[in-house]
């Protein structure tokens, strides 16, 4: 088998033995593989984040104890936050790379285009870049609201205290923030409703025995994450309406 023109000339990248890594990030299938892996790992983060944040319903003591114990382990946090940052960066880079590549693959559009899938509503799978962009915007706002503030960088003009529970309620009490948090959660759910199951396909994990479970599981996961986070933004400030922040 002559691989001919498809195989590039050997260069520095082969000398240091990173051709496989280059192809992982530049070939069509490699890109979707990394997209899927980073996406699923970010799903793991969502589970941990939602589990922690649901303690907002349990009360100030529970939530603040959790927050303090988490932030006491600063060595772990540095690793975790760096890891998350790399995951986000890779996921976002690949979103741009694949979207530009896809746009280039058909420069002249059809006058009319219709689906052949019976009953298909053009849904989440055609809006991954757009829904991802909304989620990114929301994440940046959320980091500004509640993460940078912890490092003393106050870009939003809120009056932060060292009471994590009080700070969260304060942000969510702002009607605009609250609406953005609810919308952000729902759009995240839409993104996941395609992304979760699709990641398995990109990883090649398609099996007649498990596909129904993966597909249904993806939808259920999307609903749980969206409803979980949206419910916090909607109800937590109402439940703890009379809460007075404590400054330690």
Partner 1 sequence: MNHSTSKTLNLTLKIWRQTGPDQPGALKTYTLTNISTDMSFLEMLDVLNEQLIAKGEEPVAFDHDCREGICGTCGVMINGQAHGPDNATTTCQLHMRKFNDGDTILIEPWRAKAFPIVRDLVVNRSAFDRIIQSGGYVSVNTGGAPDANAIPVPGHMQKDAMAAAACIGCGACVASCKNASAMLFVSAKVTHMANLPQGQAERSKRVLSMVATMDAEQFGNCSNTAECEAACPAGIKLSNIAQMNREYMKALLFSCE
Binding site for partner 1 (CB under 8 A): 1, 3-7, 20, 23-24, 27-33, 98, 101-102, 104-117, 125-126, 128, 194, 198, 201-206, 208, 211
Q: What's phi and psi for 29, nearest 5 deg? A: -75, -40
Question: E-strand spans in 103-241?
Answer: none
Compute the least distance from the CB of residue 118 to partner 1, in Å.
8
Is the Cβ of residue 114 or residue 247 nearer to partner 1 in the bound state? 114
Is the Cβ of residue 69 or residue 104 nearer to partner 1 in the bound state? 104
Tokens for 170?
């304060």
Compute the least distance from the CB of residue 18 to partner 1, in Å.
12
For the stretch 85-88, contacts whose Cβ atoms lie closer than 8 Å and that sit 24 or more positions apart, written own/partner, are: 87/38, 87/41, 87/42, 87/45, 88/38, 88/42, 88/139
- Are the C-beta atoms of 202 and 32 separated by less than 8 Å? yes
Is the Cβ of residue 91 or residue 194 nearer to partner 1 in the bound state? 194
Is the Cβ of residue 113 or residue 241 nearer to partner 1 in the bound state? 113
DSSP state of 16: T
Is the Cβ of residue 10 or residue 244 nearer to partner 1 in the bound state? 10
Can you tell me the distance from the alpha carbon of 248 to that of 243, in angstroms, rounded to the nearest whole number?
15
Compute the least distance from the CB of residue 40 to partner 1, in Å.
14
Compute the least distance from the CB of residue 32 to partner 1, in Å.
6
Is the Cβ of residue 91 or residue 236 nearer to partner 1 in the bound state? 91
Compute the least distance from the CB of residue 190 to partner 1, in Å.
15
Compute the least distance from the CB of residue 169 to partner 1, in Å.
40
- Are the C-beta atoms of 149 and 50 separated by less than 8 Å? no
153's torsion region: left (phi>0), alpha (psi -120 to 50) or beta?
beta
Give residue for tokens 């890779």.
Answer: 90
The 10 Å Cβ neighbour count of residue 55 is 18
């Amino acid at each position: 088998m002559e691989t001919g023109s498809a195989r590039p000339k050997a260069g520095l990248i082969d000398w240091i033995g990173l051709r496989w890594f280059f192809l992982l990030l530049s070939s069509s299938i490699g890109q979707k593989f990394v997209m899927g892996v980073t996406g699923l790992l970010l799903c793991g983060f969502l589970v941990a984040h939602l589990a922690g944040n649901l303690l907002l319903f349990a009360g100030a003591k529970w939530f603040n104890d959790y927050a303090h114990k988490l932030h006491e382990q600063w060595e772990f946090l540095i690793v975790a936050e760096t890891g998350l940052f790399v995951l986000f960066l890779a996921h976002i880079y690949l979103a741009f790379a694949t979207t530009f590549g896809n746009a280039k693959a058909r420069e002249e559009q059809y006058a009319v285009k219709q689906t052949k899938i019976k009953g298909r509503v053009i849904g989440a799978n055609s809006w991954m870049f757009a829904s991802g962009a909304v989620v990114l915007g929301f994440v940046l706002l959320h980091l500004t609201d509640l993460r940078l503030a912890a490092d003393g960088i106050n870009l939003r003009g809120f009056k932060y205290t060292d009471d994590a529970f009080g700070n969260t309620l304060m942000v969510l009490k702002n009607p605009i923030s609250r609406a953005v948090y609810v919308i952000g959660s729902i759009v995240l759910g839409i993104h996941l409703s395609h992304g979760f199951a699709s990641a398995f396909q990109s990883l090649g994990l398609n099996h007649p025995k498990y596909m129904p479970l993966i597909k249904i599981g993806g939808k259920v996961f999307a609903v749980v994450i969206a409803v979980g986070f949206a419910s916090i933004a909607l109800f937590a400030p109402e439940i703890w309406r009379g809460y007075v922040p404590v400054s330690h």
